[in-house]
Structure 1
Amino acid sequence: MDEQDRLAERFEGHRGHLRTVAYRMLGSIGEAEDAVQEAWLRLGRADGGAIENLAGWLTTVVSRICLDLLRSRTARREDLAGQQPPDQVGEADDPEQEALLVDSVGRALLVVLDTLAPAERIAFVLHDLFAVPFEQIAPVVERSPVTTKKLASRARKKVRGTSSVPAAELARNRHVVDAFLAASRGGDLTALLAVLAPDVVRRADPAALPVGVATEVRGARAVARETMVLGRRARFAEPVLVNGAVGIVVAPHGRLLLALTLTIEGDRITAYEVLADPARLRRLELAVLAAPAASRELFRDP
C-alpha cells in the first residue's frame, strides 16, 4: 500500500464524522457530501504526511468550506429578498440516510440553526454539538477566541429562545400541540375533535393550500376534516417556539416549509394560522422548544 492509499484509508475512517459535522452546519445532505468531497480534494493537494492531527485538520477544512457555503446561501437569500425563493427541498440520493440524519438532529433544531448568521452557526455547531475548543474555532470564523465565544453564546440564546408565557402554561400548551400532531399523523378524527374547540378557526396563506381550498375554515368538524386531508404533512412537523409561544414548523428534509401559530385556551386549540409566505416566515422568531433533559447541556453557557 502506497502513501496515497494509506491517506485515503485514513480519510475514509473520518468520513462519517465529517459528514455529520457538515450536515449540522448546512442542513443539507447533498451539500454536506459536497463539502466532505472538497475536503478530500484539498487533502490530496496538501502534504498529508506532515499533518499530525488529521481529524482536527479535516474538521477545520470542512468547517471553512461550510462557512463559505453558508455565506453564499445568505447572499442568495438577500438577492431574492421580496421574491418567492426557489424550492430548496429536493429528493435525497439516500432518503433513508437523510431521514436518520434529520431525526438525529431534530427538525426544529435544523430550522432554528438556519436562522443563525453563518459564523454564529459554525461556532455553535462546533462548540456546543462537537465540543471543539474556541481556540480551534476562532481561525475558522476569523475571530479571536473571545469573540468566537460570544458568537456561540449569542447563537445559543437564539436557539433556546425566550417563552412569552409561564412555564406551567407552556407545558400545557405543548401537551395540546403534541396531541394535535399525534391525531393528525394517525388520521384520528375523534382525537382531533377532542383537541379542537367547537368554534375553532383555521386561517392559512393561499400558498399553503391546494387550489380551491378556502383560506379560512370555521368549526371543529370542518377544520378536523381538512386537517385530515392535509395530514400527510404532519410527519414533517415538530413543535417549536414561534414568537415566544408554542407553535409548529413543517420542515421536510429539515427545511422550513410552513409554520403554524396557535391560540390555545385550556386544553383546546381555538384558532391556528398556517404561514407559507416567505416574507412572513422570515419575520418569525423561532426557537427550540423544551429540549429533553438529555440535551440540556446543549443550552448551558460555558
Structure 2
Amino acid sequence: MASWSAKRREQPVESERAEDTATEVFVAHRNLLFTVAYEMLGSAADAEDVLQETWLRWAGVDLGTVRDQRAYLVRITTRQALSRLRTLGRRKESYVGPWLPEPLLTAPDVAEDIELAESVSMAMLLVLETLAPTERAVFVLREVFDLGYDEIADAVGKSPAAVRQIAHRARAHVAARRPRGAVTPAETRVALDAFQRAAETGDLQGLLDILAPDVVFLGDGGGIKQAVPRPVVGADKVGRLLAAGLGRIAAMGSLLPAHVNGHPALILREGDQEGRDGTIDTVLAMRVDDGLITGLYAVRNPQKLSHMREENALRR
C-alpha cells in the first residue's frame, strides 16, 4: 500500500491528467459549442463569453460521472446562452437604430452544409430574433443540431412533453417568417457578382435589375456609424440609396467578396484599393430568392466587426 506521502505526490498528477482530458474534450467540441451559442445569441462576442463560462463550469466537473460528454457540454452552453439571451434582450431595447446580428467570416466549407449555412444566415438569425428565449433554444437544438427531446429538456429545464409543444410552436412561428427556401452558394454568387458590378459603377438600372420588387434594406450603425434609421423597402428606394452610397465608398476603397455567415457577401474596406488590409467600413450580406436579392443587411457598427478578421469554423 502506498504511503500517505506517496499518495500526496500522485494526487497532483491525477489532477493534471483530469484537467488535460477536460481540455481535450472541450477543444474537440469547441466549434460545435460556439455554433450553438452564436445561433442562440446572434452575437459572436457574447458567444465567446458563453464559451468561457462553459469552460469554467466544465473544468469543475467530475468526468467520471458524465455519460455523454457532448450532450453535457451542450447543456452547459445552452443554459449559459439562455441567461445571456435574456440580458441581450434588455440591451437591444436601448440600441440605436435597427439591430443586426454580428457577421462572421466563415470558412468556405460552411456553405457546403446547406442546412447549417441557412441556419446561420443573416435572414434566419433575424427570424430567430422573433422567438422567445426558450423557444429559440429549443428550435436551434432540435432543428439545427437534431438533439433528442430528452436532451433538450435537460438543457432548458423543461419536461420532454413541454419541449415537444415548444418545438411545434417554434417551428410554426419560424415557418411563417423564414426565407422562402434554401439557396445554393452558386445562386447567391451570380447575384452578388451582378450586384457588385452595378454598385461599383453606380449603375442604377443594373441594381434595379437584380433587386426584387419587395427587397428590404437594413443598416446597423449602432449609433457609432451613420446608417439608415429604419428599414428601406422597395427596389426603387433601395436601388437609389445603394447607387449613391456604394459608389462613393467604392471610389474611396474596395468592395471585396467574402463568405459571411455561410453565404457569399461583400466587405467594404476604406483606403485599400488593391489589398485586404484596409479598415472594414461595412459588411454587406444578402438574401437571394429566385435569382433576385430580397434582403440586404449592412453592418457598420465597428463593435460588431471584430470577428471579420479571421475565418470562423462552425460545426453541427
TM-score (norm 1): 0.58
Deviation at 1:206, TM superposition (A): 11
- Residue 39 (structure 1) aligned with residue 54 (structure 2): yes
Show the counterpart of 2:260.
Answer: none
Deviation at 1:183, TM superposition (A): 4.1
Show the counterpart of 1:84.
Answer: 96
The whole-number CA distance in structure 2 between the counterparts of 1:251 and 1:203 is 11
- Structure 2 CA distance for partners of 1:65 and 1:192, relative to 1, 3 Å: same
Partner of residue 52 from structure 1, selected from 43, 67, 71 = 67
- Mind listing any 5+ residue stretches in structure 1 that lack a counterpart? 171-176, 241-245, 258-302
The whole-number CA distance in structure 2 between the counterparts of 1:108 and 1:210 is 22
Q: CA-atom RMSD, angstroms? A: 4.6
- Residue 96 (structure 1) aligned with residue 111 (structure 2): no
- Structure 2 CA distance for partners of 1:225 and 1:162, relative to 1, 3 Å: closer
Secondary structure at 1:23 match in 2: helix
Partner of residue 69 from structure 1, selected from 71, 76, 84 = 84
The whole-number CA distance in structure 2 between the counterparts of 1:132 and 1:206 is 34
Deviation at 1:139, TM superposition (A): 2.9
Deviation at 1:84, TM superposition (A): 3.4
- Structure 2 CA distance for partners of 1:108 and 1:98, relative to 1, 3 Å: farther
Show the counterpart of 2:299.
Answer: 252
- Structure 2 CA distance for partners of 1:193 and 1:120, relative to 1, 3 Å: closer
Show the counterpart of 1:292.
Answer: none
The whole-number CA distance in structure 2 between the counterparts of 1:25 and 1:195 is 32
Partner of residue 285 from structure 2, selected from 233, 236, 240 = 236
For residue 237 of structure 1, what is the amino acid of its counterpart? M
The whole-number CA distance in structure 2 between the counterparts of 1:247 and 1:128 is 24
The alignment covers a number of residue pairs equal to 224
Q: 1:228-276: per-residue Cα shift (whole Å, max 9, x none)?
A: 2334678323258xxxxx95241539xxx9xxxxxxxxxxxxxxxxxxx
Show the 5 A alignment for 1:126-145: 126-145=141-160
The whole-number CA distance in structure 1 between the counterparts of 2:154 and 2:144 is 18
The whole-number CA distance in structure 1 between the counterparts of 2:152 and 2:45 is 24
Show the 5 A alignment for 1:206-217: none
- Residue 109 (structure 1) aligned with residue 124 (structure 2): yes
- Structure 2 CA distance for partners of 1:252 and 1:224, relative to 1, 3 Å: closer
- Structure 2 CA distance for partners of 1:24 and 1:139, relative to 1, 3 Å: same
- Structure 2 CA distance for partners of 1:41 and 1:67, relative to 1, 3 Å: same
- Structure 2 CA distance for partners of 1:229 and 1:99, relative to 1, 3 Å: farther
Of the structure 1 ranges 8-17 and 53-62, higher mean CA displacement relative to structure 2 is found in 8-17
The whole-number CA distance in structure 1 between the counterparts of 2:210 and 2:196 is 14
Q: 1:111-160: per-residue Cα shift (whole Å, max 9, x none)?
A: 11112110000000000111111112123323221221121222212222
Deviation at 1:182, TM superposition (A): 5.8
Partner of residue 29 from structure 2, selected from 14, 30, 35 = 14
Show the counterpart of 2:197.
Answer: 186
The whole-number CA distance in structure 2 between the counterparts of 1:207 and 1:53 is 40
Deviation at 1:99, TM superposition (A): 9.3
Q: Return the structure number with greater relative CO, CA threshold 8 A, min gap 6.
A: 2
Show the counterpart of 1:28.
Answer: 43
- Contact conserved, 1:116 with 1:155, CA < 8 A, in 2? yes
TM-score (norm 2): 0.56
